[in-house]
Structure 1
Amino acid sequence: MADPESIPSPRQLRVTKILSPVGPSEADLLRTKELNKFLIDAGLYESKEESLKRMKVLSIIEQVHGPGTSIDTLCVGPSYVNRDEDFFFGLHNMLTEMEEVTELQPVPVAHVPAMKFKFDGISINLFYASISLLVVPREGLDILDNSVLYNVDEPTTRSLNGCRYTDQILKLVPSVEHFRTTLRCIRFWAKQRGIYSNVTGFLGGVSWAIMVARVCQVYPNAIPSMLVSRFFKVFSHWRWPNPVMLCTLQENELGLDVWDPRKNPEDRTHCMPIITPAYPSMNSSYNVSTTTLGVITEQILFGNRICEDIELKKAEWPALFEAYMFFKRYKNYLQIDIVALNTDDLREWKDWVESQIRQLTLMIERDTKGKLQCHPYPRAYSDPSKHCAHIAFFMGLMRKQSDVVIGEGQSQFDIRGTVDEFRHLVNMYVFWRPGMDVYVSRVRAKQIPVYVFPERIRASRGAKASTSSDV
């Protein structure tokens, strides 16, 4: 195997060649069989009934929004259809009248504007793209053709790019089947280890897909068990900020912003560039900070150690997917409580506050000159014993010399002013309504509320047996 550290620097911006054409051994085939069994037992594959239900829901959604091409949950419309009036108002009103639709939440001011809802229990994120055509064909529209980006606004470009990236990735991997199985493993692993979240400064689905696809490219004949192991091997040696790229950068033919550190000084500041493969190429991991990169790297090293043990028959696959014990990792935490008057308001308010938590981590690191670093955990918790619109996020505090205080007391790091700045920031929400509020407090590990723990741990702490829930 070629040395992963030989991967080129950002200045070169070229794609590495195949590292090894070797195919699977008998042991690899056996490990892949064991891995597939684990995935099935863990419930990571949809049943036939669930798949049919999902397809039925998408078919009905297509009938609702009328003529156009529906790709997953992307609605493509002609140039005269207005996003605000026709999509966020007209379609919204149609969806409210459908009894199958619940938890309807328009998000028009997001980075990628969307309509979020559940349809017959299936979660839907419906995006809209208005392209420069008077008539959109129901079949034959190639969204990978750069011409679809001609004379469109930025929200449309971002809406189209999600599907453009996915389609291009599938074209660039040697085996779609092996890629999908490996990605299923890595995404599950990342969620278990608390590093699957673009919004809080870790990596989202596109970034993990690009990383997995790159490993598939450099090991074209490998099968899933080999690819999972090599994923951790390659990225435990990766020399960031060398970029992960699946293909060379395309020329800037339409004048859209393209990630290129040779031309854009801001791009040189990205600490973990993972570059999307379709024009206009962007860094899908721009939210990653120095601190979250450290957490991601730590977890990848953990995965590499476990995979090495699996190959030596010292461990089995379940060991790789053990949940990260976040609330045993630190002595001090920040608890971010989010409240609203009702569950509908809470759902909307929670999305906004969660999107700003990354700013809180950056503010704290800025105000403490990097001496205090924060590890946000991308999971929201609710107390099932309380009948109120409330959820909480938590953030581990990595202090070097002394404690942190938000309330009374003296300390080297007093971040009360930083917290006030954060609360002021989130309260600038344009759709703020009475009752929406956020509270930030420091808690020690022994003060962590019991509802965040699994039932067996709550019982051992003397708590009443009940089930904590994700929001």
Structure 2
Amino acid sequence: MNKNGTTTPPIVNITNGSATAVSTTAPLSGVSSPPITTSGGSYYGVTEPISLATPSSLDLKLSTELENTLRSFNLFESNDQSRKREEVLGKLNEIVKEWAKQTSIKKGYPEQTASEVNAKIFTFGSYRLGVTGQDSDIDTLCIAPKHIMRNDFFDDLSEILKIHPEITEFKTVKDAFVPVISMVFSGIPIDLIFARLTLVSIPEDLNDLIDESFIKNVDEKSMLSLNGCRVTDQILKLVPNIPNFRMALRCLKLWAKRRGIYSNVLGFLGGVSWALLTARICQLYPNAAPSTLINRFFKVYEHWKWPAPVLLTHIQEGGSHSTKVWNQKKDKLHLMPILTPAYPSMNSTYNVSKSTLQLLKNEFIRGAEITRKIETNELLWPSLLEKSDFFTRYRFYLQIDCIAGNEEDHRKWEGWIESKLRFLVLNLEQTPNMKHAVPYPKNFENKTSNNANQMVTSFFMGLTFNFSNAPGADKSVDLTKAVTEYSAMIKDWLRTQKNPETMDIKIHYIKRKQLPPFVKDEGPPKEELKASKKRLSANSNPAEAKKKLKSDLNTSTGISSNSTPTTAPTTASSTPNPNDNPSTPPITGLSSSLNPPTTSTTVENVSEQKIDTTTLPLSSNETTPPSTSTSTITTLENQIDSTNVVVDSIVDENISASNQLDNSTTTTDESSTTNNELKNSVGEEDPSNVSPQQPVNTESKITNTMEVNELDFINPNQPPTNTVESKIIAPPKKPTINIIRGI
């Protein structure tokens, strides 16, 4: 029984030996908690809400537009599709029950006793949360009694599923952190994991696994598998308004996938982590509409002080699995902890690396800017959901080719390589002069392979470097060690395979212009890309960006240039909302300490505080009083300056990447082409940075055959060379990037 007085329904009921479909696409569907109107009493989460404001007419209008936008991406299933999923789950449940019976007989159980042994299928993840889409897979868990082992699951059950006429694309990954069987059952993708309980048989009426008794005396893999269901059910119990949570989560998952930051295995965030982040915003704004939740999501996490953890409930210490509970001191190397609410609380984002964290932060900044403009009617929701510019963002890439001789070997080999790519990222991050190595969370069928008898898929990583501008500084990067160590670890697995000679991995270092044609359609349309680059170019000029954002601020707050308050079309009355929480403590992760002070902060004054301490966004019903308009503008201008620093760092990263080249020999014509590309990537040179007294060294231009002009790498603080006294300028070290080709 949850806080809404509703019990989570069972996944599948078996009546008279046949499967009866039970709706699991939306557990607790249509049930939501009443608005929270009291402070100091019961509330969801580890802190009191930030705002209790109810939706305005604008919020409801934006939420309707949001839902229409999501429907245009086919995120919602039809009734026929939902019924088909339920039928598939019923069939899978029947297969598991029969397998448990046959395995019991094989282990010496009498047939009568074996017929009473039961196993069962549970769902978790997006399907259990009720946010599954048309193309979504179903995360499933097989619960078996104590005499059935993991080997029985991966050997006997695998053979049964592999030859089933309705199952295709069958693959097992035994060596994953949570071992899994992947398949497509009647067109429905399914991931199936396993847990062995300390029970003689699984009760037919078992509906959930939240009770801690289920994880006592179980092996580690089983506990991790059980936590999938336990965490999902706890999330649904800890959000105040389930329908609004679902709508916001649908949007954020789509956004993360299109922006190339949805993958737990590659060091970004998986579905559980995105659900936890969304649930925390629902706790902080319990009565907010979905559009407001999306806006506040980016505002909060844009300024979150990682590695301060995100919590939905207080951490439970001790117990039978106390060593598994996340601990700030023990797990201090975790960069972005997002903790699961079920005991034992664990970090769902342990794979996040320095490179992927930086990209996530950049995307939060981008999302905050766009959702702010959506609320002021400057942009529409599709702007938030633009595809990632990954294949035009970087100048240098790694291409990882996965090669196998047949489909079955290729699926296993590809899954193994993908599950270990994060180790290649960590190796690259430790390489001198390497700044970031960012993987793309999707593989591609490599149609350019010359061997028709081989199956090849490719993964990609974007690379940026951190060369010093000091004269004589080392401007070389050697990727050999990182690549060879990763390849050796990957190929060590081949010794356990039947046909290791047919499997291979090749890693290539390539430039942007050498990207294969099969990735050209992955990015946004050219017109969207040009618009994004135009916005980025504007942000690279601090003065212009500040002027533009100040203008946007005046528009969004309804304050004219003479500081006379006006009523903006997107804001309501300046009278404080009576439903707002009168006293809101600082939120963990948005302050400078994990244990914030107990001093209360009034909601009306939140917008006037420093954004990097306790500032949190207000609902659209809350406006700044006229008497504070000037101080609010001043503070928000300071915040804009702070944001510009972050945006400028993004521009600098792109410029730095554009300046790095490999050590291949080029001609003078190629040098000219490269310089033109560099000029186009960073815009025209600022006239204010050019000394009018500096003569043009035409002789140097004629004799220079470097791939990049020396001015691109020279220290900007170094005085210009006197070209009258020196006809030839000694170029700095040529930047080089080395890698063993075709490894």
TM-score, normalisation: structure 1? 0.89
Aligned to 1:261: 327
Give 1:46's match in structure 2, choosing from 77, 101, 108.
77
Aligned to 1:440: 507
Contact 2:431–2:478 under 8 Å retained in 1:
no
User: After superposition, what is the alpha-carbon deviation per residue over 1:227-248, rounded to whole angstroms, capped at 9, x for unaligned?
Assistant: 1111111101111111000000
**CA shift for structure 1 position 343:** 2.0
Cα distance, 1:215–1:458 mapped onto 2, change above 3 Å = closer
Aligned runs of 1:230-245 on 2, under 5 Å?
Answer: 230-245=296-311
Runs of 5+ consecutive residues of structure 1 not aligned to the other structure:
1-13, 404-409, 461-471
Cα distance in 2 between the residues matched to 1:459 and 1:25: 37
Which of the two has higher C-alpha Rg? Answer: 2
Cα distance, 1:176–1:233 mapped onto 2, change above 3 Å = same
Contact 1:364–1:418 under 8 Å retained in 2:
yes
Aligned to 1:378: 441
Contact 2:405–2:455 under 8 Å retained in 1:
yes
Residues matched between the structures, number: 437
Aligned to 2:402: 338
Give 1:306's match in structure 2, choosing from 351, 357, 370.
370
Aligned to 1:162: 228
Cα distance in 2 between the residues matched to 1:121 and 1:429: 31
**CA shift for structure 1 position 261:** 2.9
What is the DSSP-based 3-state SS (H/G/I as helix, E as strand, rest coil) of the residue aligned with 2:442?
A: strand
Aligned runs of 1:394-433 on 2, under 5 Å?
Answer: 394-401=460-467, 412-429=476-493, 431-432=496-497, 433=500
**CA shift for structure 1 position 75:** 1.1
Aligned to 1:208: 274
What is the DSSP-based 3-state SS (H/G/I as helix, E as strand, rest coil) of the residue aligned with 2:83?
A: helix
Cα distance, 1:435–1:256 mapped onto 2, change above 3 Å = farther
Residues 1:229 and 2:280 are matched in the alignment: no
Question: Letter of the aligned partner of 1:444 in structure 2?
Answer: K
Aligned to 1:321: 385
Aligned to 1:15: 46
Cα distance in 1 between the residues matched to 2:503 and 2:348: 31
**CA shift for structure 1 position 106:** 2.0
**CA shift for structure 1 position 351:** 1.0
Give 1:61's match in structure 2, choosing from 84, 92, 96.
92
Give 1:111's match in structure 2, choosing from 140, 153, 177.
177
Residues 1:186 and 2:252 are matched in the alignment: yes
Cα distance, 1:219–1:334 mapped onto 2, change above 3 Å = same
User: After superposition, what is the alpha-carbon deviation per residue over 1:170-222, rounded to whole angstroms, capped at 9, x for unaligned?
Assistant: 00000111111111100100011110011111111111000000000010001
What is the DSSP-based 3-state SS (H/G/I as helix, E as strand, rest coil) of the residue aligned with 2:157?
A: helix
Residues 1:82 and 2:171 are matched in the alignment: no
Cα distance in 1 between the residues matched to 2:194 and 2:478: 45
Residues 1:454 and 2:521 are matched in the alignment: yes
Aligned to 1:71: 122
**CA shift for structure 1 position 384:** 4.2
**CA shift for structure 1 position 444:** 0.7
**CA shift for structure 1 position 455:** 8.6
What is the DSSP-based 3-state SS (H/G/I as helix, E as strand, rest coil) of the residue aligned with 1:75?
A: strand
Contact 1:69–1:139 under 8 Å retained in 2:
no
Cα distance in 1 between the residues matched to 2:468 and 2:517: 26
What is the DSSP-based 3-state SS (H/G/I as helix, E as strand, rest coil) of the residue aligned with 2:460?
A: strand
Cα distance, 1:455–1:76 mapped onto 2, change above 3 Å = closer
Cα distance in 1 between the residues matched to 2:465 and 2:379: 33
Runs of 5+ consecutive residues of structure 2 not aligned to the other structure:
1-44, 98-117, 124-139, 528-743
Cα distance in 1 between the residues matched to 2:207 and 2:394: 51
Contact 2:308–2:337 under 8 Å retained in 1:
yes
Aligned runs of 1:118-133 on 2, under 5 Å?
Answer: 118-133=184-199
Residues 1:361 and 2:428 are matched in the alignment: no
Single out whichever of 233-242 and 87-96 deviates more from structure 2. Answer: 87-96
**CA shift for structure 1 position 457:** 9.1
Cα distance in 2 between the residues matched to 1:104 and 1:325: 32
Aligned to 2:625: none
**CA shift for structure 1 position 97:** 2.8
Residues 1:33 and 2:84 are matched in the alignment: no
Contact 2:208–2:230 under 8 Å retained in 1:
no
Cα distance, 1:247–1:459 mapped onto 2, change above 3 Å = closer
Give 1:173's match in structure 2, choosing from 239, 244, 254.
239
Cα distance in 1 between the residues matched to 2:87 and 2:246: 22
User: After superposition, what is the alpha-carbon deviation per residue over 1:113-159, rounded to whole angstroms, capped at 9, x for unaligned?
Assistant: 22211111111111111101112101135400000001100010011
Contact 1:402–1:413 under 8 Å retained in 2:
no
Residues 1:274 and 2:341 are matched in the alignment: no
**CA shift for structure 1 position 291:** 1.7
Question: Letter of the aligned partner of 1:51 in structure 2?
Answer: S
Question: Letter of the aligned partner of 2:122 in structure 1?
Answer: I
Cα distance in 2 between the residues matched to 1:95 and 1:373: 42
Question: RMSD of the alignment, in Å?
Answer: 2.1
**CA shift for structure 1 position 223:** 1.4
Cα distance, 1:457–1:223 mapped onto 2, change above 3 Å = closer
Cα distance in 1 between the residues matched to 2:415 and 2:206: 36
Question: Letter of the aligned partner of 1:96 in structure 2?
Answer: K
Residues 1:349 and 2:379 are matched in the alignment: no
Aligned to 2:55: 24
**CA shift for structure 1 position 287:** 0.7
Question: Letter of the aligned partner of 2:505 in structure 1?
Answer: V
What is the DSSP-based 3-state SS (H/G/I as helix, E as strand, rest coil) of the residue aligned with 1:148?
A: helix
**CA shift for structure 1 position 69:** 2.8
Cα distance in 2 between the residues matched to 1:323 and 1:233: 21
**CA shift for structure 1 position 96:** 2.5
Aligned to 1:195: 261
Question: Letter of the aligned partner of 1:454 in structure 2?
Answer: D
Cα distance in 2 between the residues matched to 1:79 and 1:312: 59
Contact 2:196–2:218 under 8 Å retained in 1:
yes
Cα distance in 2 between the residues matched to 1:280 and 1:381: 37
Cα distance in 2 between the residues matched to 1:419 and 1:428: 14
Cα distance, 1:309–1:459 mapped onto 2, change above 3 Å = closer
